[in-house]
Amino acid sequence: MSGDPIVVAARRTPIATRGRGLADATVDRLAAPVLRAVLDDWAAASTPPHPTPTVADVVLGNCMGPGGNPARVAALLAGLGVEVPGMTVDRQCGSGLAAVIEAANAIRGGDERPRIAGGVESASTAPVRSVDGVPYDRAPFAPAGFPDPGMTEAAERLAAEDRIPRSRQDAYAARSRRRALAAVADGRYAGELVPVEGVSGDELGASGASGADERVLARFAPLFEGGSVTGGNSCRVSDGAAAVLLVPGSLRGVGVPGLALRAHAVVGCDPALPGVGAAAAIIEALGRAGGTGRTVADVAAFEIVEAFASQTIAVLDRIGVADDDVRVCADGGALAVGHPWGASGAVAVVRLFSRLVRGGAPPGTLGVAAASVGGGMGVAAVFEVVR
């Protein structure tokens, strides 16, 4: 496993609710600063400093952007050079993590040059899409004859199917917000954040105290009559970007810590219940890690994209982890900070990097990043601390 790709730098922008602090930033303006930041971090990672590497490719997830290959546009804007290509990946809410896996697979395939991977979403500047002049919110996740619920509808259906009461969802959402507030107060986000020139993120406000109390969440009306999913136990549609720098083990350098990507999995599941996809992906990825496989008990940190409290709880139930387990989104997740669709899977990797690498976890510590995906899919990756 010494040849596994290693994340040696990880950064993200603040995350802002659609129409707020990052509303004027297009996808290239969001992504470019984090691309530059991970390279600068790597250059300063050892003594003497590493030379800035030649990047083989930039792979970014994006769901609803303008097209035109935002990864390539952002790479040019970041000053990486005209010789650096780019590729944009769409696996919906799993796009950012899928991009990291895609870059890692290229390194595993024998091209031992560094790659930048991540994701970006600007819901604020996304174009209006239409067919025959009729606007629509999203393209189909499944063809005719298959269930194709919207994600909110699917979260409500999953809550009913799994008998997850409103009280449990609100308690989970409130806990995520309290954890995020504590992380902000302790400065645990500081090392991963990159400012976006000319705009200001509203991350502190997005995870503000008004949402940290279950009594406040209880005032939200259900989004469906008689239902349990509300605006309080659902994520906010958001803007933001995240990126990591992956290098082969041979380039990491002595004394430079990182996260080695040991295993990953992408799975399909029932399109009617897309929120559970992450569970099967986590189990399958762990089964591929460490030769004979690893188990949930071996994992020190989980970062699961919290699109909805009901969906996250359903995933945790299926992998046998308690709602309040301190390993899960220990500094708050998307329910607290926001969900920039194409970026959130990469945000999960950045958060693992902060929790485990910046946080000083010993070599061999395992972390898992995962997301459930519209249309009935799940994606997960297993990382191990190396020092």
Rounded CA gap, 180 and 262, in Å?
28
Catalytic: which of 50, 63, 93, 264?
93
Residue with tokens 């609100």: 170
175-206 in b/e burial notation, b at 16+ Cβ within 10 A?
A: bbbbbbbebbeeebbeebbbebeebebbbeeb
Rounded CA gap, 288 and 368, in Å?
13
CA 288 to each of CA 93, 102, 245, 281, 383: distance values in angstroms, whole numbers, following the listed order: 23, 17, 23, 11, 12
φ, ψ dihedrals at 62, nearest 5°: -160, 135
* Burial tier of 231 (Cβ tally within 10 Å: 0-12, 13-18, 19+): middle
Catalytic: which of 50, 269, 329, 339?
339
Rounded CA gap, 329 and 335, in Å?
10
**Residue 269 appears among annotated catalytic residues:** no
Residue type at 26? T
Partners of 383 in the beta sheet?
261, 367
Q: Quick count: other Cβ atoms within 10 Å of Cβ 20? A: 18
**Residue 339 appears among annotated catalytic residues:** yes
Rounded CA gap, 358 and 231, in Å?
33
The set of catalytic residues is 93, 339
